[in-house]
């Protein structure tokens, strides 16, 4: 697919071809005096699409992302890749959503991380796939992807996966079924909470697992126990959770999509919000 899979270590020049392709695209458009709308469509539909595939497999070096940003920004403000016209807004403003006054251009570094999160999601949700079994056997044979550590001389693929894991940790949540595998204080499991877990632990509280909050022998919340164990805000959010009565085990889901499936778009929005 044209990726430098034989590269042992990614250097600044390894992915220069992605930036060069954007430059060649934009240079060809520079001859036409297009409107702002025309430039926007070309940049989003063509230039920003060029590095999508390599970004889904590798972490691109910062200088490469900077080059791509420069080419896109120069064309946007001056209709030419080598234009030195004034940039009236900083790039972070242009990458903000249109609803917030930006133009919705991609921040290449954050989009790269969101794309890599998709690969990590596949490791978690497809444990029997060949790719997962190979990576697990080498990097976390006795653990799981979310707790795996970075080893010396790790491959670039593994380094990229760990980079994408950072965004996964911010948005992954456990959906409550039996509740016996969810630690109340350490795991993400409250969809409406700011940090997806309780804000604080009161001194008198002794419960540790979510199933301890059920009425014994059922999967219904013990409302009195919940209100006594958590601050009012957390208690209300917990009681809103619909427990999976038929679920055999607690499952991992992506909190920012109704389907629970990881979405690059929502992961990117999460990273942008954290950046602000």
Q: In this predicted structure, what is the pLDDT of residue 235?
A: 96
Q: Are residues 24 and 101 in the same domain?
A: yes
Residue 115 is encoded by which pair of tokens? 């794309």
Question: Residue 242: which pLDDT band, with cuts at 50, 70 and 90?
Answer: very high
8 Å CB contact between 107 and 272: yes
pLDDT score, position 10 = 64
Q: How far apart are CA 265 and CA 263, in angstroms?
A: 5
pLDDT band at 265 (very low <50, low <70, confident <90, very high): very high
Q: Which domain holds residue 147?
A: 116-167+264-275
Co-location of 39 and 85 in the same domain: yes
Do 35 and 159 lie in a common domain? no
How far is 179 from 147, CA to CA, in rounded Å?
A: 20
> d(Cα 147, Cα 219) in Å, to the nearest integer?
29
* Domain match, 162 and 207 both: no
Task: Say if CB 168 and CB 120 are below 8 A apart.
Answer: yes
Phi, psi angles (nearest 5°) of residue 173: -145, 150
Flag whether the pTM goes above 0.85.
yes
């Amino acid at each position: 697919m044209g990726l430098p899979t034989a590269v042992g270590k990614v250097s600044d020049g390894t992915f220069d071809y992605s930036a060069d392709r954007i430059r060649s695209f934009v240079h060809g458009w520079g001859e036409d005096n297009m409107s702002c709308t025309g430039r926007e469509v070309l940049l989003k539909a063509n230039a920003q699409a060029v590095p999508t595939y390599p970004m889904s497999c590798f972490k691109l070096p910062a200088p490469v992302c900077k080059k791509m940003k420069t080419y896109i920004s120069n064309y946007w403000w001056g209709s030419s890749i080598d234009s030195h016209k004034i940039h009236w807004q900083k790039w972070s403003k242009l990458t903000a959503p249109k609803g917030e006054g930006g133009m919705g251009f991609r921040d290449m570094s954050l989009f790269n991380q969101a794309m890599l999160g998709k690969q990590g999601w596949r490791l978690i949700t497809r444990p029997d796939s060949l790719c997962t079994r190979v990576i697990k056997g080498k990097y976390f044979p006795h653990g799981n992807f979310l707790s795996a550590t970075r080893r010396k001389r790790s491959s670039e693929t593994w380094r990229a996966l760990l980079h994408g894991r950072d965004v996964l940790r911010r948005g992954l949540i456990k959906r409550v079924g039996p509740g016996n595998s969810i630690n109340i204080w350490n795991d993400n499991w409250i969809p409406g909470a700011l940090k997806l877990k309780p804000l604080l632990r009161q001194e008198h509280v002794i419960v540790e697992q979510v199933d301890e909050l059920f009425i014994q022998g059922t999967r219904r919340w013990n409302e009195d126990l919940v209100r006594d164990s958590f601050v009012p805000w957390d208690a209300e959010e917990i009681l809103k959770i619909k427990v999976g009565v038929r679920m055999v085990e607690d499952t991992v889901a992506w909190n920012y999509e109704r389907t629970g499936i990881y979405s690059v778009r929502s992961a990117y929005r999460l990273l942008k919000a954290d950046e602000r």
